[in-house]
Chains A and B, each alone.
Chain A
Amino acid sequence: MKGIILKDLYDNFRVGKNLASYIFGGGFIVILGLLINTKFNFLWVTLITATVFSSCTIESACEQDERANFNRMMMSFPLSKSQIVAARYLLALCCAAVTNLLTFLYLLYCVFLRHILSFREAAEFWGIALSFSIFFSGLTHITYYLFGKKLATIIYVILFLIVGVTYSLFVVVLGLTDILTVNRTVLLIASFPLSLGFFGLSYLISVQIYKRRYA
């Protein structure tokens, strides 16, 4: 599995156009995060960063695999199909860990340097964003295994827009104050195990899809 993870890391960060899109996207979010110092922006940046960067490694890996029809060769390696899929999920978890660590640093910046919100408040939102990123990553992986790169990317963008619009609608309709007063502790306690559970379920579904595709 290490070999597949290494390959996917290479596809993501050593292939020029993929690296460029990370730098562009990351740079944009960093600028947004540093320039606009509001609660709304903190929530937005944390959610977007965690969600996008936790789930996008599959996109580049899938694209490169489809281009070279690498799946056939990969299945001639001493790996089971479950292990091939598991490698992708492990990488996604690693990316989620790194990304959420970065957003945690951003949290510290917002709490202690900019004094935008309290630590408890920020940490609860960060936790919810973490849960959502794991859930979204699971959803994205199923989509890519089910539909392949091209169609899945379109669905991915649509899903992402839905998330953005939903969040904005909540803010407009309910107001930011109401969102902030939601019982976040309960939400956090419920969402984290649920997202992990969904991520595990997503893995099992993806294995079945992969096995069926190459039956």
Chain B
Amino acid sequence: MEHAIQVKNLTKTYKDFTLDHISFDLPRGTIMGLIGENGAGKSTLINAILGISGSEYDQADILGYDISTHGRYAREDVAAIFCDSHFDLEFTPLFLGKMLSKVYKNWDQKTYMDYLEKFDLPFKKRLKKMSTGMRVKVEFAAALSHRPKLLVLDEATSGLDPVFRDELLDILRDFTEDEDHSVFISSHITSDLDKIADYIAYLHEGKLQFVSSYDDLRNNYGIISCGQQFFDALSREDIAAYRKEAYSYRVLINNRQKLRQVFQDIQIENASIEDIMVFYVKGEKVQ
């Protein structure tokens, strides 16, 4: 099994929204960031991948298991943390461990207690009396204690301060040190993905715009500011999107090396994931 997630032509249709023929692979041992504006379909995609909601597909495997027929076997090795679904706030971390030990075959109570200690979390305090950050730490401790091979995070770091998010990113880095471990993370905070993602998948209005390695994005995408004449001289296929400003154009290019060869003096800014996302959503496409 080379891939943690393999999806081909996954479609999920609601009355007012369609997740449209999504295809991508997440290689084992890597982190894929899923980006997209609100309502783009990120949570829908995650629900479909985890088998929480049904979908139609040619192939949808997690950890080598088909999600419809063997989803619950796959979920034995999957941990999910959601921004909109949590453990009961009346729980204590101690009870949570007891409960999850009955849920997961691979549950390791010692690992869980070690994480609670490492994160400096009180064992017997109810979650409702903890700060948001502490609760998220409890969720991470719980998620990592049944030795999952795939961690799925749906906006799990939103609402947390930068220092705390940085701690969590360290946890994810530690987690993926094992080549068997993979992370699929959707986040609005694209700067976090800049720090950890190996791959980026961009979802817009239910359609996957691209899946690319982070290095390819950094190497290929760039932003140039230019006038009308230069803009007209650019090859249309090198322009991912552009934004017209008062007297100039801001152009997101997708073939940086080629452009550099053709226009040697041109200044090309690095494009962050956020830049790319904003250009795709707000920019115009060339005909």
Contact = CB atoms under 8 A, between A and B. Distances in A.
Contacts of B72: 78-80, 83
Contacts, number: 83
B61 to A, nearest CB: 16
B90 A6 contact: no
Nearest to B84: A69
B87 A73 contact: yes
B84 A10 contact: no
Contacts of B101: 3
A73 B95 contact: no
Would you call the interface of chain B mostly helix, strand, loop, or mixed? Answer: mixed
Interface stretch (B48-56, B171-179, B231-239): B48-56
B75 A71 contact: no
B257 interface: no
Interface of A: 2-4, 6-7, 10-11, 14-15, 64-65, 67-73, 75-80, 83, 214-215
B98 A6 contact: yes
A77 to B, nearest CB: 5
Contacts of B99: 3, 6-7, 10
30 contacts: A3-B103, A6-B102, A7-B88, A10-B88, A10-B90, A10-B91, A10-B99, A11-B90, A67-B89, A68-B89, A69-B84, A70-B86, A71-B85, A72-B52, A72-B82, A73-B86, A75-B50, A75-B51, A76-B50, A76-B52, A76-B79, A76-B80, A76-B152, A77-B104, A78-B73, A79-B75, A79-B103, A83-B72, A214-B52, A214-B53
Interface of B: 47, 50-54, 71-76, 78-80, 82, 84-91, 95, 98-105, 152
B10 to A, nearest CB: 15
Contacts of B104: 77-78
Contacts of A70: 85-88
B257 to A, nearest CB: 41
A32 B80 CA distance: 49
A7 B82 CA distance: 19
A72 B52 CA distance: 7
Contacts of A71: 85
Nearest to B146: A78
A64 B87 CA distance: 9
A82 B97 CA distance: 24
Contacts of A69: 84-86
Contacts of A15: 90
* The 7 A-B residue pairs with the shortest CB-CB distance in the complex, in nearest-first order: A3-B103, A72-B85, A3-B102, A76-B80, A2-B102, A78-B76, A78-B75
A3 B100 contact: yes
Contact of B86 (A68, A78, A83): A68
A83 B79 CA distance: 19
A76 B105 CA distance: 14
B142 to A, nearest CB: 10
A77 B102 CA distance: 11
A10 B127 CA distance: 14
A4 B101 CA distance: 11
Given A6-B102, A10-B99, A68 B88 contact: yes
Contacts of A68: 85-89
